[in-house]
Amino acid sequence: MEIKNNSVENTALLKLREYMKSSVKKESFIPLENFFKNSEISGFKISPNGKYLAYLKPFQKRMNIYVRKTDGSQPEKRVTNQTTRDIIDFGWKENETLIFIRDFGGDENFHVFRVSVTGEDEKDLTPFENTRVGIIDYLDNISDDYILVGTNQREKSAFDAYRLNIKTGDIKMIAKNPGSFMSWLTDHKGQLRVAFSTEGTDTSIYYRDKEEEGFQKVMTTDFKNTCNPIMFDFDNKNIFVLSDLEKDKTAIELFDPTEKKILSTLFSHPEVDVSGLVYSKKRKTLLAAHYITWKMEYHFFDSEYKNILQDLQLKVPKKEISITSWDREENLCVVVSYSDRNAGSYYLYDVKNKKLEKMADARPWLKEDDLVEIKPIKYLSRDGFNIHGYLTLPKGKKENLPVVIHPHGGPWSRDIWIYNPTVQFLANRGYAVLQMNFRGSTGYGKKFWTAGFKQWGKKMQDDVTDGVHYLIEQGIADKDKVAIYGGSYGGYVVLAGLAFTPDLYVCGIDYVGVSNLFTLLASIPPYWKPLLEQMYEEAGHPEKDKDLLKEISPVFHADKIKAPLFVVQGAKDPRVKKAESDQIVAALEKRGVEVPYLVKENEGHGFRNEENRIEFHYLMEAFLQKHLQ
């Protein structure tokens, strides 16, 4: 493996490299690169007129946009030339132009670019220094020349709304952010009419009837009670919201901003939060609501859409199905099928003729029969919560296994059932993997989410620990061979696990993880400042909860860590800054403990560049083999 020298290396990392080169087993494993190199192809999107398909493919190890005719009459053409960072997202603007975004070395200061369908006229439309840009609305079917974007070029902590001319680059503010607006919503005519605000620990919906008017506050709730606007109804009068007001689980409801009240509940689920709506732009009708139990599920409002998905399910059995892109007339659509053992297959579906054409597999070099099932699991926490998660067992032996505990980041997110390259890689190397949605995870209702508040390192950590004990009690885990690996908040869980339950784990891998709650809260990105009071409620206040934060910050308990630790960090991480990793490494090295420490200078909050991902996982493989087998 060729390693590019863009990393900072300490003595312990150099020793791990030597171990990796000389001692890592070369058994009949799937090659590591097959899990972590870029997909062969991904992200198909169809042009509004249905004549073109755009998608991402690697060029010089970076994901770039390619275009081809849907009828195959012309060969594909690469239309972008990015060689330093992947393009992470793109979209069509009418039929001749594509819009894409990327950042610079992991700094998360995303810019909006334009390129023509022929590959000409590539241009950075938002070349503002130290500025982050996001797309509010592509204005599909509304304007050929304009999109709406939010940028913090005026004030780094606040995103104003602008109308951006994609042909000339001219940009004009259409709404100034007073400092608390976190997101914007347009109606179906592209008019910017709603803002969602965070003011201390309150959240509010602001509304205006016309763009010329000022925004007026129409609803305020404590942030623990959700009422999030997601789209206007088709009369552009009322607003569909995700709401858990006066209930535990988030439902789809209809809100009247004039009368300032909820009118009706469209759909709710008794066990989990509803996560969103699918609708038809052409027919102006709601199609389905979706939610996640252990898999994605739908509640249908429209029989035509239901019939389409049922036909696709018959044609691609035993897979999850998602329609990701339509042409304007909704005659053609892009379909993605996936599973725990399939990273994604792409199809073009002719709705009228019910004709399905397979276009590509994301990772054709991975065969489903060589991978393993990721199965749902549920166990009881010590204080009575049901903890849902996923268990992956390697082929062959099913008990008394070496185990990698893999908590998710966030922490206010959740794991889902999907192909996971890290999980499949670890299972292929002979490890069982446990992912758990500990309290504080989203998707399971308000009570479960808020039960994690100010429980970092405490009850949230207990849920992880209880998962370990559950696997041991079930005979799945060898109690002397349990490791822990996680990123971001998951990295915090690694450090907390090694510090607060030092006899539980034989080693840990901390990937861009938090070591010190004081420095984390003091160094958040400027655009997170409106959320700071909420973060104090969720994690702890640096003054009011000083003793708590010191108690739960692993850096102050580094003297208790005795298991080997591998630390991985991106130097440009704007969220969990490099100082978080520096602190824990320094504290352990002061005690004479060897801590392999990998820092990539051209990465941020997680490694996006292919060669860095591959190198990290080679070192992970060596570290686990050295300490877990």
What pLDDT, in 10s, does the model give residues 273-294? 999 999 999 999 999 999 999 9
483 is written with which tokens? 């490791």
Element (H, E) at 49: none
Total domains in the fold of the chain: 2
246 in any annotated domain: yes
3-class DSSP assignment, residue 543: coil
339 in any annotated domain: no
pLDDT of residue 6: 60
Task: State whether 462 and 568 are in the same domain.
Answer: yes
Task: State whether 405 and 521 are in the same domain.
Answer: yes
Whole-angstrom distance, CA of residue 97 vs CA of residue 116:
4
| Cβ–Cβ under 8 Å, residues 588 and 558 | yes
415 in any annotated domain: yes
3-class DSSP assignment, residue 233: coil
Task: State whether 392 and 521 are in the same domain.
Answer: yes
End position of a domain, from candidates 258, 277, 296: 277
385 in any annotated domain: yes
Question: In whole angstroms, how far apart are CA 534 and each of 65, 438, 541, 595, 608?
Answer: 38, 20, 10, 34, 29
In 497-627, the DSSP E strands lie at 507-511, 565-570, 597-600
| Cβ–Cβ under 8 Å, residues 156 and 194 | no
3-class DSSP assignment, residue 9: strand
Beta pairing partners, 185: 194
End position of a domain, from candidates 243, 277, 311: 277
Neighbours of 395 (CB within 10 A): 11
623 in any annotated domain: yes
556 in any annotated domain: yes
Task: State whether 379 and 261 are in the same domain.
Answer: no
| Cβ–Cβ under 8 Å, residues 447 and 248 | yes
Task: State whether 435 and 575 are in the same domain.
Answer: yes
Residue whose structure tokens are 């249905």: 50
Task: State whether 464 and 607 are in the same domain.
Answer: yes
pLDDT of residue 594: 86
DSSP secondary-structure letter at 606? B
Question: In whole angstroms, how far apart are CA 442 and each of 40, 106, 416, 447, 467?
Answer: 32, 26, 11, 10, 18
Q: Residue 445 is part of a domain; what is its CATH number?
A: 3.40.50.1820
Neighbours of 521 (CB within 10 A): 18
Show Cβ contacts of residue 598 under 8 Å, excluding neighbours closer than 6 positions.
Answer: 7, 8, 9, 13, 566, 567, 568, 569, 615, 616, 619
Task: State whether 273 and 380 are in the same domain.
Answer: no
Q: Which domain holds residue 529?
A: 7-35+373-628
DSSP secondary-structure letter at 39? P
266 in any annotated domain: yes
3-class DSSP assignment, residue 181: strand
Task: State whether 273 and 379 are in the same domain.
Answer: no
422 in any annotated domain: yes
End position of a domain, from candidates 277, 306, 333: 277
Task: State whether 582 and 464 are in the same domain.
Answer: yes
Whole-angstrom distance, CA of residue 515 vs CA of residue 496:
8
Side chain identity at 526, as an amino acid letter? P
Which regions of the chain are under pLDDT 70? 1-8, 26
Whole-angstrom distance, CA of residue 515 vs CA of residue 494:
10
pLDDT of residue 4: 43
Give the strand order in the sheet containing 111-116. 89-93, 97-102, 111-116, 123-124
pLDDT of residue 1: 32
Task: State whether 272 and 381 are in the same domain.
Answer: no
Whole-angstrom distance, CA of residue 391 vs CA of residue 433:
6
DSSP letters, 454-474, are T-TTTHHHHHHHHHHHHHHHT
